Amino acid sequence: MKNVIFISPPAAGKGTFSKYLEQKFGYNHLATGDVLRERVEAGDLVVKELIDSGKLVSDETIADIIKDKIKTLKGNPFIIDGCPRTLVQAKMLNDMFKEEMITDVAIIKLDIDLNVAIDRILGRVICSCGRSYNLNYEALKPKKEGVCDFCSSVLKKRTDDNKEKITKRFIDYEVNVKDIVQFYKRCGILYEVNANQEPSKIEEVIKGIING
Ligand code: AMP
C-alpha cells in the first residue's frame, strides 16, 4: 500500500479518512494540526494565537514536528495529514523522504466546495484522541451524544471552527495550494478526489489509489 499525504481545505475529511485508513489498513497517522493542538493544551500561546486567528504556523515549526516524527512513521505505510500547506513544506517533505529513502507516496488532494465545507464545519466536534464527528450527518454522529465512540472522552468544538475563520482558511488554502499542485503534478504523484460526495464513495476512490 502506498504512503499517503492528504492535502485539502478545512472540513474536506482528511482527518476522517486518515482514521479510516488507520483502522482498516493499519496505517500510521501524523496530523500536524493534532500535534499543534497538543502544544496549545500544554500552554503554547504563540501557536494558540495563530490557530485561533486561522493563520498558519511557521514552516520551521512544521519542519521540526515532521523531523521529530518521521522515523516513528516508518514500518507501516503512513499518512501525513495537514502538511504540506506551503510550497516550502512540500519541498521539505520531499527532501526528508529522499533522506529516509521513503518511496511510493500518493498525494491525495480532497476537493470540496466552500458551502459544503461551512456546513460540515458548523457540525464538527472533535476528541482529544484525534477522531472527529459531525452532528450534521447521521453517519458521522457519535453513538452516544457528546462522547467519543472509541475512548469515551468528552467531544469539543474546535476554537477555529466558525464561519468567518473557515472562510479565511479556505481562501488562504486556495492561494497556497496552486504552487503545491504544480510541484506534485511535475512529480507525477497527485490524485485529485471530489470530496463533496458521500464518505463511502470517497473511501472507495481512496482504496483504489492506495492499492494502485
Ligand atoms: P488542521 O487540524 O489540519 O485543520 O490544522 C489546524 C490549524 O493548525 C491550521 O489552521 C493552522 O493554523 C495549523 N496548521 C496545521 N498544519 C499546519 C501546517 N502544515 N502548516 C502551517 N500551519 C498548520
The model's pLDDT over 145-187, given as tens digits with 9 standing for 90+, comes to 999 999 999 999 998 899 998 899 999 999 999 999 999 999 9
d(CA 108, CA 118): 21
Distances (CA, A) of 183 to 62, 107, 200: 19, 11, 29
User: Does residue 107 carry a pLDDT above 90?
Assistant: yes
Q: Is the CB–ligand 1 distance for residue 32 below 6 Å?
A: yes
Task: Tally the C-alpha atoms within 13 A of residue 152's C-alpha that lie toward its C-beta.
Answer: 0
Contact 86, 176 (CB under 8 A): yes
Q: Is the CB–ligand 1 distance for residue 30 below 6 Å?
A: no
Per-residue pLDDT, 56: 94
Contact 25, 1 (CB under 8 A): yes
Contact 183, 85 (CB under 8 A): no
Q: Is the CB–ligand 1 distance for residue 85 below 6 Å?
A: yes
User: Does residue 90 carry a pLDDT above 90?
Assistant: yes
Mean per-residue pLDDT of the chain: 93
User: Does residue 24 carry a pLDDT above 90?
Assistant: yes
d(CA 148, CA 127): 6
Per-residue pLDDT, 71: 84
Cα(209) to centroid(ligand 1), Å:
25
Q: Is the CB–ligand 1 distance for residue 190 below 6 Å?
A: no
- Set of cell numbers at residue 100: 529516509
Q: Is the CB–ligand 1 distance for residue 90 below 6 Å?
A: no
Mean pLDDT value across residues 70-94: 93
Residue 120: how many other CB atoms lie within 10 Å: 23
Per-residue pLDDT, 73: 87
Would you say the C-alpha torsion 153, 198, 173, 171 has a positive or negative sign?
negative
User: Does residue 199 carry a pLDDT above 90?
Assistant: no
What contacts 24+ positions apart, CB below 8 Å, involve 137-144?
A: 139/199, 140/16, 140/199
For residue 82, the ligand 1 atom closest to its alpha carbon is: 3
Per-residue pLDDT, 137: 86
Q: Is the CB–ligand 1 distance for residue 89 below 6 Å?
A: yes
125 band by pLDDT with thresholds 50, 70 and 90: very high
User: Does residue 104 carry a pLDDT above 90?
Assistant: yes
For residue 84, the ligand 1 atom closest to its alpha carbon is: 19
User: Does residue 198 carry a pLDDT above 90?
Assistant: no
139 band by pLDDT with thresholds 50, 70 and 90: confident
Measured by CA distance, the residue closest to atom 8 of ligand 1 is 33
Distances (CA, A) of 23 to 20, 66, 100, 164, 178: 5, 22, 25, 33, 31
Q: Any residues with CB less than 8 A from the CB of 51 and at least 6 apart, and which?
A: 36, 37, 40, 57, 159, 160
d(CA 76, CA 74): 6
Per-residue pLDDT, 28: 95
